[in-house]
Structure 1
């Protein structure tokens, strides 16, 4: 199975993805560290480093699926072309695809998370303004990605509640 996380930065998707990966014994491939490494290699930020990171994550996820293992991909997946990338991968490999979208319905809490987060990614410091811009660019779910199984979790709920909901969704 291919599990694709989706949601704005700071929404809680990485936390939920990591807990699910740990609980299910699945690798989690995260786009952010890949992009940070690309930037750390000296590639200019004005280059399509985000696209490159998604493509590296896709290749890594595909090799994991080919090896017979399920995988979780942790990425914003804000636009349909990004979501369709996972649809196409699942179809190529004949695997089930599940999207887990994570939102934070409390804007103040979401902002606090962004402003107080400590990341180990030196080339990716995120501001609240950047998250607000991402929200403006976040597309409705349409096309093939809208037809695959998707659950939306709100990270204002306790983590355990969201994990239980995600587990039930993945087992259904």
Structure 2
């Protein structure tokens, strides 16, 4: 994630009711990002753009570049820009593990003239997180627990304005997320 632009207070721009907003989810696999992204998309009546299937499609055609996943992030950013240009809010569902990936959303929000709202999702109960990862169907699309731990070791800490959601907590986070987006 890049630092806020000089002279721009990221908290000063508040979306008006019905005004488009770019929502970027971040967090490790298995923490509940996709579930929350889909719920937020439904509540906002906004398209949800997941990076994983784009990355998988690019891989099937041998189009994954030197920086794994960045081509998929760029493709999703392009699709998001079209939707924002139509006046729609957009929800991005991605791990967003490194600053360069997160920077795409900052740049896009600035170009589109919409506020960016980052939601970092984690599961504060490691046993529950492992259970969720291991409960997924074993295939090339879902990482194993060992692969998730490797991704955690490479995950660059998020710095800057964001809402942090712990899905191990019993309370439904959706009302708090929607309040943050207003």
Asked whether the two chains share a fold, i.e. TM above 0.5, the reply is yes
Indicate if the aligned counterparts of 1:36 and 1:123 stay in contact, CA closer than 8 A. Answer: no
- How big is the shift at 1:40? 2.4
1:166 to 154, 177, 180: 177
- TM-score by length of structure 2 reads 0.83
Q: Does 1:103 align with 2:143?
A: no
Give structure 1 stretches of 5+ with no counterpart: none
Runs of 4+ in 1 over 6 A off after TM superposition: none
Q: 1:38 aligned to 58, 83, 88, which one? A: 58
Change (3 A) 1:165 1:30: same
Mapped to 2, the partners of 1:44 and 1:123 lie a distance apart of: 17
- Report how far residue 44 of structure 1 moved: 7.0
Instruction: Name the TM-score, length of structure 1 as normaliser.
Output: 0.87
Aligned mate of 1:20, from 40, 43, 46:
40
Long gaps (5+) in structure 2 = 1-20
Higher share of residues assigned helix: 1
Is 1:152–2:164 an aligned residue pair? yes
SS in structure 2 at match of 1:22: helix
In structure 2, how many angstroms separate the alpha carbons of the residues matched to 1:16 and 1:117? Answer: 17
Q: Does 1:127 align with 2:139?
A: no
